[in-house]
Structure 1
Amino acid sequence: MPAPLNPFKKALSEGETLFGCWLGLANGYTAEIMGTAGFDWLLIDGEHSPNDLPTIRDQLQVVSASDSHPIVRVPIGETWIIKQVLDAGAQTVLVPMVESADQARELVRACRFPPVGDRGVGYAMARASNFGQTTNYGPTADAQICLLVQVENRAGLAALDEILQVEGVDGVFIGPADLAASLGHLGDMMHDTVQSTIMDALQRISASGKAAGILSTDDAMTRASLDAGARFVAVGLDVVMLAQAARTTASKWRDGLK
């Protein structure tokens, strides 16, 4: 029995456009709720959310049972953490702060078994192989792993064309908040310079044949990103959705009676 098909990777390779949402609440119950919402993919955030391996695993379990594809963003591009989330069952990984082609090549190796990579061979005891029941997991797993790298500062932009040439990188995600800060516009992703830089990067990624990604909660920016070639687009964050809905409801009744 081979490793299961990665539907997210397949859809991107076929040119589909996929809409997703960030999961930052670090909770399996809320991840299960989000899995009923109809997003194509949900990103379990290990960089800016209070997640650890057990909470990532719990969310992988519930999201994998939904119609949404789970993606894990690791906190840093290190082989040890990539190995752990892959063993926990992630098939798609997003790595932040990628700044060079050499770094991208190291990440590709972290996602692949020897002799072509550095991923540790312990899948017989891992959730990824259904605890050994996926008998042909090892020889077939590499083809189903989807590696997304995040370019989000000046160094990454300078190396973008070289990163796009790295075989095994399936997509490049532009991190708008960090990119804005790197360009001298912290907190202002809508600045003209930031927006033109983002759209240029998305166009270059799309032209390379790799999938381009972005996070945007601004409708105009989302549409511009799609026009520039973005194909996996996060259009919401669960933390922001909860906070906004809670504040609106509280204000409606607290301030409405004054």
Structure 2
Amino acid sequence: MQLPSNPFKRSLDGTPRYGCWAGFGTGYATEILATTGFDWLLIDGEHAPNTVPSVLAQLQAIAPYAIAPGACAPVVRTVNHDPALIKQLLDIGAQTLMIPMVDTAEQAEKLVAATRYPPHGFRGVGGGLTRATRWDSVEDYLAHAHEELCLVVQVESRTGVDNAEAIAATEGVDAIFVGPVDLSTGVGHAGNPNHPDVQAMIRHTLEVTHAAGKAAGILAPAEADAKRYAQWGFDFIAVGIDISLLRQAAVETIARYKPDTPRPTSSLGY
């Protein structure tokens, strides 16, 4: 059996790819999202109640749609930089990982090493125990696994922006994803990622990432933001969050029948 191709990595061809956060933590909800036309889905292990088994269930739920026309590709976000967790996620078949809060090239280098087998890293060998090897059916998996991996690191602090050029230049880093909410909060503009100072930092990160020949992504659930970032040249943009979409639809639905019902607003602007 050949090493499975990574549909997300293959999709990064200069055309904006639009994705959605999958935060419910269930394969059923994520499979619904996979049928709606999004190019990619972020299985969120940082802020959503996901565990390794629930991530596995969602990878399995997306799998049939990742190889169909108009494929929907999975991306898995870790909760931290823990190499043991990275190993587990790779072993269950995640091929694209997004790692939050990367501030330096040294951190990026350690994350790359966690995804590589010796002598290029220190990923442990699971062999026939792992879904990634199709239970030891993939030929020469140890030698070729890295070819279909995609490592996305998140820049979401002033330090990360200052070091974005070096982070993007790190061999083995495939893309940088800007976290505008954390970034704006960390630089003193909480809830206002559209502040001119924050926008300048975002654009700087995009430019140095592209200069390094890497892809750049961002979270932008507000339509005007997403369109602006697409015009700037961002390669992959998260334009929805499943929990927010459900909440908004529910609020709008009940308001049609109970117009006096309070309509709470988001402090984040979406």
Please list every run of at least 4 consecutive aligned residues from structure 1 whose deviation after the TM superposition is greater than 3 angstroms: none
2:14 maps to 1:25: no
Other-structure match for 2:47: 48
Aligned match for 1:232, one of 233, 236, 243: 236
Q: Does 1:9 align with 2:9?
A: yes
Which residue pairs with 1:115 in the alignment? 119
AA matched with 1:161: E
- Alignment check: 8 A CA contact 1:2 1:140 kept: no
- In structure 1, how many angstroms separate the alpha carbons of the residues matched to 2:11 and 2:121? 25
The secondary structure found in structure 1 opposite 2:53 is helix
CA distance in 2, matches of 1:183, 1:2: 46
1:124 matched to 2:128: yes
**What RMSD, in angstroms, separates the aligned Cα atoms of the two structures?**
1.4
Residue number in structure 2 paired with 1:165 = 169
**Equivalent position of 2:68 in the other structure:** none
CA distance in 1, matches of 2:54, 2:86: 15
> Quick check: 36-45 or 221-230, which moved more?
221-230
Q: AA paired with 2:128?
A: A
Candidates 153, 175, 181, aligned match of 1:177: 181
Distance 1:73 1:57 in 2: 13
* Conserved? CA contact 2:16–2:233, under 8 Å: no
Q: Report the counterpart of residue 265 of structure 2 in structure 1.
A: none
Q: How big is the shift at 1:45?
A: 0.2
**In the alignment, residue 208 of structure 1 is paired with which amino acid?**
A
Could you tell me the TM-score, scaled by structure 1's length? 0.95
Q: Which runs of 5+ in 2 are unaligned?
A: 66-70, 262-270
Partner in structure 1 of residue 266 of structure 2: none
Q: CA deviation at 1:256?
A: 7.2
- Structure 1 unaligned regions, length at least 5: none
CA positional deviation for 1:40:
0.9
- What one-letter code is carried by the residue in structure 2 that aligns with 1:18? R
Aligned length: 256
In structure 1, what residue type is equivalent to 2:19?
Answer: G
Task: Indicate the SS of the match to 2:191.
Answer: coil
Worse-matched range after superposition: 3-12 or 238-247:
3-12
Over the matched positions of the two proteins, sequence identity in percent amounts to: 44
Q: Are 1:186 and 2:190 matched, yes or no?
A: yes
